Amino acid sequence: MRKSIYAIATLLFATLTFTACLKDNDTESTPECSITSFSVGDFVSYVTVTRENGTDTTYSRTISGKNVYFNIDQVNNVISNVDSLVSWANITRLVPTVYSEGVVAYKTKADSLYRYLNNGKDSIDFTYPVDFTVLAYDGVNKKSYTVKVNKSATDADSLIWVRLNSADISLTGKSHSVVANNNLYVFAENDGTPTVCSTSFLSEGMSWTEPVELTGAEGTIDYASVVVFQDELYAIDNNGYIYRSTTAEHGQSWTKTGEQTFKQLLGADSYRLYASDGSQILGSEDMENWTTFGSNSIDLLPQTDISSVCYTSKTNSNIDVVVMTGLTSALDNCASVWYKLSATDNDVDQEWNYINISSDNKWALPNMQGLQMFHLNNHLYATGLSKDENAKGYQFFYRSDDNGITWRQINSLFMLPPSMRGSDEPISICVSGNNIWMVQSGDKVWRGRLSSSNM
């Protein structure tokens, strides 16, 4: 009790002294006493993850204080962050900046006395709520607040990876993965003689068929061109012919669909398969009749590392959004991104359009070898080999929330497996439901899920 009285008396004395100084400068003392703004500076946190060999490794992450917004409840005298911080955020040494009407002091759970706040410099432990008191410049009135810094118990948006160590898969060279009819198919380069292996999702990716060579084509099937259309597999060979393989044939046996030749197989939506003959983009429902779906900017069409995804529009369940990415020698610093709306309504159904990179777009998708794109949880994601001299290999995902126009690098939560970060061994990625499947050259298979999903 004596300590509390002494602390308040000491603080009051400091306030009166400060008030006297204000009067000397002709500043009028006032009875107001409230906190009008509360923020924290940037702070470093550490994330510990377990490598595939069972050892732990720790990464540092800097959280920007500008992204932590605090609400001030002047009725209940409570200050707290609106959005909870990630579960691994270190809040033991936060440096607050407080704007107030009056003199501010604080007391943590470990303190017996109030401390005068050295604004923007004091490092405070916010593991438990901290008491803040504001004394008015008149030296009489005061107001107390409880400041709470909330953290998530778990990170709903964090990506959790499981390495399937017992997956009996063996790949040679680069690979390309697709999902059809509840099966994951992985097509591998295999020194120029493409192979395929597959797994049923009933086995949770633990049991795989033996890799077998692709048969039936007059030429060599382009393993990286395989797309899924209406639960059947389609690919192009080096002669430009398009081939089909049913899921019953497990992507091994291929049959030519027609005599028309193309330069590239691009992707598919719910209605058509799309290909390019070099001068235009064509689409077909039956592989016999082909309709033109655009020729503008055809010189910027992706030539390699082509990925395409199709998903339902957020605003209309009858409209497909189709996004295609890839690399072209015509673009040095960014990837080529294309966009299309598809529907049975001819007024809505569009041609393919190249997303032009305007001078004010600072967030174009980077040019990355081994580019992979997928759609998950209403977002587009992409990754590839970094060109950063200080952080080469696969490093980060990029996310787009506007159908491929802008892409932001993700630096926390939604991350690649730590053990493969920095690796340049080729990967292929595909999505089934809430699962991300990632296959890396050799025998490495990962399954990733958001922490809000059941593992």
159-450 CATH: 2.120.10.30
Please name every residue paired with 357 in a beta bridge, in sequence order, or none if there are none. Answer: none
Residue 52 has pLDDT above 70, yes or no: no
Residue 195 has pLDDT above 60, yes or no: yes
Structure tokens at 220: 């060599």
The pLDDT score that the predictor gives to residue 205 is 78
DSSP for 53-83? TS-EEEEEEEEPGGG--EEEETTTTEEEESS
**CA-CA-CA-CA dihedral for 172, 177, 179, 182, to nearest 10:** 30
Element (H, E) at 398: strand 398-400
The pLDDT score that the predictor gives to residue 14 is 44
Q: What is the spatial distance between Cα 46 and Cα 41, in angstroms, rounded to a whole number?
A: 17
Domain at 2-148: CATH architecture: Sandwich (2.60)
Residue 56 has pLDDT above 90, yes or no: no
Q: What is the pLDDT of residues 283-292, one digit of tens each?
A: 999 999 999 9
Residue 152 has pLDDT above 80, yes or no: no
Domain(s) labelled CATH 2.120.10.30 in the chain stretch across 159-450
Residue 84 — pLDDT band, cuts 50, 70, 90? Answer: confident
Domain(s) labelled CATH 2.60.40.2340 in the chain stretch across 2-148
Please state the length of the chain: 455
Q: What is the spatial distance between Cα 455 and Cα 444, in angstroms, rounded to a whole number?
A: 19
Among 399, 373, 452, 433, which residue's Cα sits nearest to residue 160? 452
Q: What is the pLDDT of residues 363-392, one digit of tens each?
A: 899 999 999 999 998 899 999 999 888 888
The pLDDT score that the predictor gives to residue 86 is 74
- Model's pTM, two decimal places? 0.68
Q: What is the pLDDT of residues 404-420, one digit of tens each?
A: 999 999 887 888 988 88
Highest mean pLDDT (candidates 11-25, 60-74, 268-282): 268-282
Residue 159 — pLDDT band, cuts 50, 70, 90? Answer: confident
Residue 267 has pLDDT above 80, yes or no: yes
The percent of residues above 70 in pLDDT, for the chain, comes to: 88
